[in-house]
Structure 1
Amino acid sequence: MRAYIFIAMVAMVATYLYTPLIRHLAIQLGAVGEVRARDVHTVPTPRMGGVAMLLGFITAMFFASRLNFLQGEFRQNHQAWVVMAGAAMICLLGVADDVWDLDWMLKLAGQLLISVFVAWGGLQIISLPIGGLLTASPMISIAITALLIVVSINAVNFVDGLDGLAAGIVAIGGIAFGIYSYVLSRQQVSYASMATLVDVAMVGICLGFLLHNWHPAKLFMGDSGSMLLGYLITCASIIITGRLDPATINTSAYVPAFMPILLPVLVLFLPVLDMLMAITRRLRKGQSPMHPDRMHLHHRMLRIGHTVQGAVLILWGWAALIAFSSMFLLFFRFVDVLIGFVVLAVLLTIATLYPYFKRMGPGAHSNDGVLPKSNAPKHVQESGRA
């Protein structure tokens, strides 16, 4: 455990130190988020923060490769190198989008190619934990893996709409999944786990970047950051879940990962929900699934009267409730987890809707869905394209 905490600290400090340098580089390259019609921020802000996060991740992995506890994970197979290569490529694709604002179809094609490369390089879902069911062929395994990576990449990109929102949600999901993967790794001969390593390094870069990205943000993570985070958390899930043998794992510990495809959805529930709602909404209007609008979850939170910080904290709360509830099944009875989930869900629902009920109460004046002037953000992130 101490080794993982050390790696997380290295990732956090490195990312924190790299970020001001990347902010200066972003300004020099013209990667500045100008205010657009669909945006809610009013101040042009540099993006490309994903580059600082990538450098922080690679730095942490370099330190990990020098630790006796984790050296074997780098020597036994080439998964670590595949993960880092894919991270570099997905980040560079995001940088191109941050600088030149790529067409969504071109960006999606790039995501697919990179995901296929990573799957072809050995990062695959080989078995599904349903009675030890094996994938029918290597090609199907590559296709399932690539699809899962692309979905997660775009889910995080969709939710990247307020200062600190995406980094916080991914960090919360990463902490929950990191605890889960660590518990599973302790059932093996060696406690060292590449999945846990990738996860804690990812949590570290999120925390380091958050110190610069909290409202008002000095730098946006941009697509280079949101796509990188979606990629990394999925890689950690695939590494540990795609090769699990159900016969070797205690049933009670296996419940949270009944299917590898569901695990990333649990830790990224809000991003996936936001993405599915946006796609459905746009298709009903006859628009492209990537057509931008102002109806994301964070837009709705601001519209009913939340401040930027308040909206982010409440959405973090929902993410933590969903992610940790699955992880708590490792330690507590299902009934106890369910009771705790319901109680906290009620409290979060009250907190979520409080500004709305306050405005609609006796003597209150309706704003007809317009954000109250007192809460109108003066500097709010909206770096995602969708």
Structure 2
Amino acid sequence: MNGVIALAAMSIAFALSAIATAVLRRLALRWRLFDKPGGHKSHQRPTPYLGGVGIALGTLVPPLALAGPACLPLAGILVGAAAMTLLGLIDDLIPLPPPTRLAVQALAAGVVVVSGVVAPLTGSWLDLPITVLWIVVVTNSFNLLDNMDGALGGITTASAALLAAESFVYGWPALGLVLAALSAASLGFLLHNWAPARIFMGDAGSLFIGFVLASSTALLVTGTGAVTTVAGLLLPTFVATVDTGVVLLSRRRAGRPLLQGGSDHLSHRLDRLGLGKRLTALMLAALAAAAGALHLAMTLGWIPPTAAATVAAAAAIAAIVLPQRVRVYPSIRSKTSILVRR
């Protein structure tokens, strides 16, 4: 694909996302659509959301306008991604029960699989439900990753840019154009979301981002070997996958409900170490960039798939286990001492 078209798409995506987010912020303020602080949420004042709609517009409009109709697998991804934006927007306005969210997500992931996107982990029919499950789990992992100013926007900017490069290498220029637009649109959104954030993306943005990245990784590994598939799925979604692992392990050890919200994510632990929101967001984006660069090196043939998969798995385990040393829950001894003093 012509580099001029890709550059034009990214420029339009950046401008469209930045302008649309500013307009959506005004609308959210007028309609009093706020994400209020309290509970496990880290922000201190009511903050408008709807910014995710601007990211979706910036991602979808330029490629469709400049490149025209997409092939069937990519069309399935775009249809599912649009459905995720709508689902997230509804959930932002009227919170939906988890079963409803999961059912819609599974249906959208099914559309992607039916369109020809299958991650070949087993080489059997089991790859179909595994791919659906992968897309749903990673979509929600990115949704949970949206828990601090600038974090998910920075991660997406880095991850989508490198995944776009890999798409061009793999021979999927149309997908590369969409991912390049997603990276630029996320950067445009960051103008308004960098700490202290003036607007949040909400579920409309985080579900959209997660679905696009999860489905794109599955498309890029379609037809490859099992080892390449493992590395190709894990590396581009490394931060989201690790963050989910950190939370699940932490809550299991603390005896807390796995699906309950909490300030125990990777970003919260880095912030607790004294990094602050801005440096935390930069570190998470750098981690995503490093994982994406390793995947790109594998795609270019500089690193064998086995080595990339091994490094990815080892790094993921270390990144899940080591943050457990940062205390986010009061210990049983601390709780007992408080009760005794009372």
Q: Shorter-chain TM-score: what band?
A: 0.7 to 0.9
Give, in whole Å, the separation in 1 of the partners of 2:93 and 2:82: 16
Alignment of 1:1-386 (within 5 A): 1-65=3-67, 71=68, 74=69, 77-120=71-114, 122-125=115-118, 128=120, 134-136=123-125, 140-185=126-171, 193-244=173-224, 258-329=227-298, 330=300, 332=302
Shift of 1:61: 2.3
Give, in whole Å, the separation in 2 of the partners of 1:64 and 1:6: 9
Give, in whole Å, the separation in 2 of the partners of 1:33 and 1:240: 36
RMSD: 3.0
Instruction: Sort the Cα spacing of 1:83 and 1:29 in 2 relative to 1 into closer, same or farther, 3 A.
Output: farther
User: Match of 2:149, SS?
Assistant: coil
Instruction: Sort the Cα spacing of 1:88 and 1:369 in 2 relative to 1 into closer, same or farther, 3 A.
Output: closer
**Are 1:83 and 1:235, in contact at CA under 8 Å, matched by a contact in 2?**
yes
Q: TM-score, normalised by structure 2?
A: 0.81
Counterpart code for 2:46: P
Shift of 1:114: 2.1
User: Match of 1:295, SS?
Assistant: coil
Shift of 1:369: 8.0
User: Match of 1:268, SS?
Assistant: helix
> Which has more radius of gyration?
1
**Are 1:302 and 1:311, in contact at CA under 8 Å, matched by a contact in 2?**
yes
Give, in whole Å, the separation in 1 of the partners of 2:215 and 2:63: 14
Cα-to-partner distance string for 1:141-179 (whole Å, 9 max, x where unaligned): 442221121121111112211111111112211222222
User: Match of 1:162, SS?
Assistant: coil
Instruction: Sort the Cα spacing of 1:265 and 1:53 in 2 relative to 1 into closer, same or farther, 3 A.
Output: same
User: Match of 1:37, SS?
Assistant: coil
Shift of 1:286: 4.5
Between Structure 1 and Structure 2, how many residues are aligned?
A: 312
More helix by share: 2
Counterpart code for 2:248: I
Shift of 1:273: 0.9
Instruction: Sort the Cα spacing of 1:311 and 1:103 in 2 relative to 1 into closer, same or farther, 3 A.
Output: same
For 2:335, the equivalent position in structure 1 comes to none
**Are 1:123 and 1:235, in contact at CA under 8 Å, matched by a contact in 2?**
no
Q: % of aligned pairs identical? A: 26
Shift of 1:209: 1.0
Shift of 1:333: 5.8
Shift of 1:258: 3.5
**Are 1:155 and 1:230, in contact at CA under 8 Å, matched by a contact in 2?**
yes
**Are 1:124 and 1:141, in contact at CA under 8 Å, matched by a contact in 2?**
no
Give, in whole Å, the separation in 2 of the partners of 1:28 and 1:268: 36
* Structure 1: tracts of 5 or more residues without a match: 66-70, 186-191, 247-256, 357-367, 371-386
Q: TM-score, normalised by structure 1?
A: 0.72
Shift of 1:83: 2.4
**Are 1:198 and 1:232, in contact at CA under 8 Å, matched by a contact in 2?**
no
For 1:376, the equivalent position in structure 2 comes to none
Shift of 1:119: 2.4
Give, in whole Å, the separation in 1 of the partners of 2:112 and 2:32: 30
